[in-house]
Structure formats: structure tokens, C-alpha cells
Amino acid sequence: MSEQFEPVIVGFLCNWCSYRAADLAGTARLHYAPNMRAIRVMCSGRVDPQFVLKALKEGADGVLIAGCHPGECHYVEGNIKALRRFILLKRMLAQLGVEEERVQLVWASASEGKILAEAVDKMTEQVRALGPLRWQETVLSGNGQWVEATPVLEEV
Amino acid sequence: MGDNGKPKLAMYWAASCGGCEISVLNIHEHILTVDSVFDVAFFPCIADFKIEHVNNYNDGYIDVCLFNGAIRTSENEEMARLLRQKSKVLVAYGSCAYEGCIPALSNLTTKEATFNTVYLDNPSIDNPDGTIPQPTYQVPEGELDIPVFYNTVKSLDQVVDVDYTIPGCPPEPPQIWAVLQVVVAALTEGAELPPPGSIVGARTVAVCEECPLEIHEKSIERFYRPYEINPEPGLCLLEQGLVCMGPATAAGCGALCPQVGMGCRGCYGPLPGVEDQGAKMLSAIASVIGAGDPTMEEDELERKIEAVVDTIPDPAGTFYRFSMAHSLLHRANLNGNGKGV
């Protein structure tokens, strides 16, 4: 393949800090990787682990969750809930064979467009190095024998 | 066996433990009603039927087939397809058929690793030649074959269309009887059946709704495994640091486990509208972790939370104990750099 692999990263950005950081990165005309598809949520604490799993299953190569720094949450501690979930989810994803670089959490305040842009750049490179995830095609068909119509008799 | 005009009942086991069959017999004297209403057409656990009998039935001959067990081998899949063809109503009976249950935990590893544990590397195994099952084998009389063992365990509805689902490991007798009454009424009095695709014999609220244990503020500094503490009677187990799947599990069982000091294992499956029971439970558990507050430095905060999370040794196995096959990701990725254990 001559074309470079472009990872698809789903980004959940909180309304009060990180989405504004992304806005700032735009108005400041910062150049950064276009691989993140931003989804605005009211708070990083709104990110249900189901969102992350569903994104990975349905074609994302990585998921970025971005929120306000601890102590700066618009809802006092929604971001701490997000952090608790993220830490536990990382453990579970390791058991499910998902590399840890594929799901990341970053704090970026409304004035930190640069931090967000750098995080996206860094994550894009890390996921690019890992290669595509393609959960449906790779995990659920090949080794998972997910879509087989008739049993393969050679295999034990 | 002549046709006596009674509706035909079948029950079959695929990858399961046999507990589901026992749960049907566990409806006590009501089993006599079942016997008077139905004619048993296939039920290997209690009556001597062969696959040939089923093969010889016309399509749709069986009125109700209770299918329990997950789909683990080619034989399980073949029987699922055969019984689907021969049954008017196919019921995924119990957690294995519904969502994979305990057999589907092996979706966190490979078939090879499973074989290794079962046939080779275990203190109680005596297998000096390292024999493991082969799908085909040559003997002087000809070729023998046994079913193929799949790498991934599936639920029944991932293989054939399922009309109804009865959750539970195993389903509780009062729920089984309630469902059978609906079926009997439909067959004998023409009453209406629930809409196809329904989950029957469970409620649409969480186990916590049925649980009488007292709830206060939940803020947990560490989790305990069941053998590590004696829970305080009458108090919510989750509050005491025992992982209890109650908040993420459909009720219908009467909260039997929490009432005897064992956290809910989650066998009735997710609540309506939830796609992934494990993710929901993970979310609930993370919400009750008490460590860390907004005044802490970011590093310290992470360390504190990590320390609490360290006390949950097997998150995937705990939160997906019954629902691995039905989870969003279905199984572990063993090609990645993740450990996949």
C-alpha cells in the first residue's frame, strides 16, 4: 500500500473546556492532524464507556476523551468521574486486547488549544504506528470465526 | 409414539451445564400441568430421543422449543439450526443461550489456551501423550469425526432467529412458571403471546429495586473479593466494597444472591435499552469509587484512583461474567499488542 494509513479517531470533547480549546486551535490557525472527528458532549463525565466500545467496534481506530482539568469542571467533578471510568476502562480494554494508546484521556482548558492540538497530533502518530483496528473485519471474522457460515473442518 | 394432539414441547442443551433442565423440573408440582398440556417431542435430559426423531419431524412440528446453552461447537450450531427449522416458537432459555454466560468467558482467550488448560496443563490431568481432540480420526473401520470446537462462543440469537428469551442462570422457577402459563393459555385458550423478540420472565427495573438491603451513601475506598470479608447483614453489599452487579442487571430473580451476602453476579442480563452490561457496570463501579477529589494534583489523583482499581483483579471477567458474547466487542482481540488474557 503506497498510501499512508490515516487513523480514524473519535474525539469526545467537553463543551466547557476542550471543545473551546478545539475552537481556539482553529481560530489561532494551528495546524494539526485532521484525524480526530470531534463530538461535543456537555461534560467528559457524560462519556458512557459504551460510547467508547461502540466507536471501536464500528470502525474507529482510536478514541480520545478530552475534558477540563481536575478542579475546573463546570459541574465540579464530572471530569473526575470520567477519570475514574477511564482508569477502570483501560484495565478492561487491556484484557480485551485493545492497545492502550487507542483510548486516551487528555485535559485541555478553553485556553489550551495548543495542548489539544498536540495531543491529537501525538495520538494520531501512535495509532498510525499501531495500524488499523478494524474490529468487525479482523477480530470478529478471522480469528473470531464470527461470520463463518459452515464449520471449517480442518480446524480443531 | 402416536400423536395425541397435544402441543409439542422440546428442550435441548448446547454449551451449558445442565442447570437449565433442572430449573424446569424445579417448578415443582406445576411440572404435572406441563406434562398434561404438552407432549414431549425431544428432551435428551429426561427422555430417550435421538436426532433421527427430530430429523423426521415436519418443519414447525415442535410448538415450543426451550433451547439452553451457548454455541460453542459445530454440533451446537447444527442442533440450533435443526431445532429452529422444526420449531414454531424457539426460546433462548437461560443466560448461555441469551448472552453466552460462563462458556463465553473463553472469548477472552483462544481455543488453544482453552484446550491447553482442559487437556494438557492442569494438576489433575494425566495425559502423557498430550492427546487433544481431533475433528477427524482414522480407525481400521473407517473415519470417525467429532464436532469442531469454535474459537468464539456465540449466543443462540447470533446463529438463528430467536422468538423469545428467558434470562437467568438458571431462570427462577416462579418466572419459568409465569412464562409457561402464558404459553399454555395461548395454546389452550387462544390468548395472545408477547410480541416476538421479547425478553420474558424478567422485569424492566434493576435488581436493586427488589433488593431489601439498606442503601446509604456509596463511596468506596477499596473493593473486596467475597472470601475477604464477612458482609454486615442488612446493608448494601456494594457499599461495603463487594462488587454487586445489581445496578446494571435486570430484576426478576427476587434479588436472591445479595440477600445471602453474595453480590449479584448479573445473570439476568442488562436492563432494557442497554447494549453492553459490562460497560454499564464499569460505569456504575467507577461512580462509587470514593478516592480523589478536585483539589488534588493530577498525578496524586490518578494514583489514588489506580490504587482502588487495583482491588478489582479481573474487570472483564467480573463485569462480563454472563454477557461476553452479547457485549459490544464480543471477544478479545488476540492479534493486538494487548495481553488478551
Domain boundaries, chain A: 9-143
Question: B338–A99: do the CB atoms touch at under 8 Å?
Answer: yes
pLDDT at B335 over 70: no
Chain B touched by A97 (CB under 8 Å): yes
B274: cell is: 442497554
For residue A49, list chain B residues with Cβ-Cβ distance below 8 A. 276, 279-280, 282-283
For A49, nearest residue in chain B (alpha carbons)? B279
User: What pLDDT, on the 0 to 100 scale, is given for residue B189?
Assistant: 85
B217-262 confidence digits (pLDDT tens): 878 999 999 999 999 999 999 999 999 999 999 999 999 999 999 9
Question: A94–B292: do the CB atoms touch at under 8 Å?
Answer: no
How far is it, in rounded angstroms, from Cα A147 to Cα B325?
14
Average pLDDT rounded to a whole number, residues B130-139:
91
For A85, nearest residue in chain B (alpha carbons)? B286
Chain B touched by A46 (CB under 8 Å): no
Mean pLDDT in consecutive groups of 10 residues from the start of chain A, 156 residues: 86 97 96 97 97 96 97 92 96 95 97 97 97 88 46 42
Helix/strand/coil (H, E, C) string of chain B? CCCCCCCEEEEEECECCCHHHHHHHCCCCHHHHHHHHCEEEECCCCCCCCHHHHHHCCCCCEEEEEEECEEEEHHHHHHHHHHHHHEEEEEEECHHHHHCCHHHHHHHCCHHHHHHHHHHCCCCCCCCCCCCCCCEEEECCEEEECCCEEEEEECHHHCCCCCEEECCCCCCHHHHHHHHHHHHHHHHHCCCCCCCCCECCCCCCEHHHHCCCECCCCCECCCECHHHCCCCCCECCCCCCECCCHHHCECCCCCHHHHCCCCCCCCCCCCCCCCCHHHHHHHHHHHHECCCCCCCCHHHHHHHHHHHHCCCCCHHHHHCCCCCCCCCCCCCCCCCCCCCC
Question: A139–B329: do the CB atoms touch at under 8 Å?
Answer: yes
Q: What is the distance in angstroms between the Cα of B266 and the nearest Cα belonging to chain A?
A: 17
B199-222 confidence digits (pLDDT tens): 998 999 999 999 999 999 878 999
Q: Is A82 helix (H, G, I), strand (E, B) or coil?
A: helix
192-211 in chain B: CB under 8 A from chain A: none
Question: A145–B151: do the CB atoms touch at under 8 Å?
Answer: yes
Rounded to two decimals, the pTM is: 0.91
Identity of the residue in A57, A98, A144 whose CB atom sits nearest the CB atom of B336: A98
Domains and CATH numbers, chain B: 8-102+152-189 (3.40.50.700), 109-151 (no CATH), 207-319 (no CATH)
For residue A127, list chain B residues with Cβ-Cβ distance below 8 A. none
Give the CATH fold of the A9-143 domain. Answer: Rossmann fold (3.40.50)
For residue A98, list chain B residues with Cβ-Cβ distance below 8 A. 329, 333, 336, 338
User: What pLDDT, on the 0 to 100 scale, is given for residue A150?
Assistant: 39
User: What pLDDT, on the 0 to 100 scale, is given for residue B199?
Assistant: 92
User: What pLDDT, on the 0 to 100 scale, is given for residue B337?
Assistant: 44
B95-129 confidence digits (pLDDT tens): 999 999 999 999 999 889 999 999 999 999 999 99
Chain B touched by A134 (CB under 8 Å): no
Confidence of residue B338 (pLDDT cuts 50, 70, 90): very low
How far is it, in rounded angstroms, from Cα B145 to Cα B128?
23
B165-190 confidence digits (pLDDT tens): 999 999 999 889 888 888 888 888 88
Mutation target to probe the B interface, by most B beta carbons within 10 A, among A46, A47, A76, A84 is A84
Nearest to B325 by CA among B159, B96, B104: B104
Question: B332–A95: do the CB atoms touch at under 8 Å?
Answer: yes
Confidence of residue B295 (pLDDT cuts 50, 70, 90): confident
User: What pLDDT, on the 0 to 100 scale, is given for residue B190?
Assistant: 86
User: What pLDDT, on the 0 to 100 scale, is given for residue B182?
Assistant: 87
For residue A69, list chain B residues with Cβ-Cβ distance below 8 A. 298
Chain A touched by B303 (CB under 8 Å): no
pLDDT at B332 over 60: yes
